Structure 1
Amino acid sequence: MTRTKQQPLHFEFRANQTFDDFFPGSNVEIIDHLQKSITGNGESQIFLWGQAGLGKSHLLQACCHQAQSLQLSSFYFALSPSELPDPALLKGLDKFDIVCFDNIEHIAGDSVWETAFFNFFNLHRDQDHTLILSAACPPNEIAIRLPDLKTRLNWGLTLKIPPLSDDDRITALIFKADQMGFEISPKAGRFLLTHYDRNLSSLWVLLTRLDKASLAAKRKLTLPFLRQILREEPHDD
Structure 2
Amino acid sequence: MNPQLPLAMSLRPELTLESYVAGANAQLLQALRELATGQGLEQLFVSGPAGSGKSHLLMGTVSAAQGAGHSSAYLPFEELARLSPEMLDGLDQLDLLAFDDLHLVAGNAAWEEALFHLFNRAREKGRRLLFSASHGPSRLELELPDLASRLSWGGSYRIQPLDDAGREALLLEQARKRGLKMKPQAASWMVSHCSRDPRQLLALLNRLDHASLAARRQLTLAFVREQLG
Q: Secondary structure at the match of 1:163?
A: coil
Identity of aligned residues (%): 37
Letter in 1 for 2:154: G
45-54 or 170-179: bigger deviation: 170-179
Deviates more, 1:70-79 or 1:93-102: 70-79
Paired position in structure 1 for 2:162:
164
1:4 alignment counterpart: none
What corresponds to 2:94 in structure 1?
Answer: 96
Q: 1:56 — aligned with what?
A: 54
1:9 aligns with 2:6: yes
- Residue of structure 2 in register with 1:46 after alignment: 44
Separation in structure 1 between the aligned mates of residue 40 and residue 80 of structure 2, nearest angstrom: 34
Q: 1:122 aligns with which of 99, 120, 123?
A: 120
Taking a change above 3 Å as real, the CA distance of residues 197 and 80 of structure 1, as seen in their structure-2 partners, is: farther
Contact 2:6 2:75 (C-alpha < 8 Å) held by counterparts = no
Contact 2:88 2:118 in 1 (8 A): yes
Paired AA for residue 30 in structure 2: D
How many residue pairs get matched?
Answer: 225
Distance 1:57 1:99 in 2: 13
- Read off the aligned partner of 1:50 and give its amino acid letter: G
The secondary structure found in structure 2 opposite 1:85 is coil
Q: SS of the counterpart of 2:57?
A: helix
**Deviation, structure 1 residue 224:** 4.5
The answer as to whether partners of 1:84 and 1:107 remain within 8 angstroms in 2 is no
| d(CA) in 1 for partners of 2:98, 2:80 | 20
- Kindly tell me: are residues 133 and 223 of structure 1, through their superposed partners in 2, closer, same or farther at Cα, counting changes over 3 Å? same
Does 102-111 or 211-220 show the bigger shift? 211-220
Q: Is the CA contact 1:214–1:220 (under 8 Å) kept in the aligned structure 2?
A: yes
Amino acid at match of 2:178: M
Q: Which residue of 2 aligns with 1:192?
A: 190
Q: 1:110-157 CA deviation, whole Å, 9 max, x = no partner?
A: 111110110011111111111100111111111011111010011100
- Matched with 1:213 is 211
Task: Return closer, same or farther for 1:80/1:195 CA change in 2, 3 Å cut-off.
Answer: farther
Q: Secondary structure at the match of 1:181?
A: coil
Residue 87 (1) aligns with residue 78 (2): no
Q: Find the residue that maps to 2:60 and give its secondary structure.
A: helix
**What SS does structure 1 have at the residue aligned with 2:148?**
helix
Q: Deviations over 1:22-49 (max 9, x none)?
A: 1122222111111111111111100001
Q: Distance in 2 between matches of 1:208 and 1:73?
A: 34
Which sections of structure 1, spanning at least 5 residues, go unmatched?
1-6, 232-237
Cα distance per residue 1:193-233 (max 9 Å; x no partner): 355443323433443442343233221223443355458xx
- 1:84 is displaced (CA, Å) by 3.9
> Do residues 31 (structure 1) and 13 (structure 2) align?
no
- Normalised to the residue count of structure 1, the TM-score between the two structures is 0.85
Q: Secondary structure at the match of 1:101?
A: strand
Q: Distance in 2 between matches of 1:38 and 1:19?
A: 10
Contact 2:195/2:201 (8 A) holds in 1: yes
Q: Which moved more, 1:159-168 or 1:119-128?
A: 159-168
Say if 1:228 and 1:85 are closer, same or farther in 2 by CA, change over 3 A. farther
What residue identity is the alignment partner of 1:127?
K
Out of 132, 149, 152, the residue aligned to residue 150 of structure 2 is: 152
Superposition deviation, residue 82 in structure 1: 11
Query: Does the aligned pair in 2 maintain the 1:51–1:136 contact within 8 Å?
Result: yes
Structure 1: distance between partners of 2:33 and 2:201: 26
Q: Which segments of 5 or more consecutive residues in structure 2 lack a partner in the other structure?
A: none
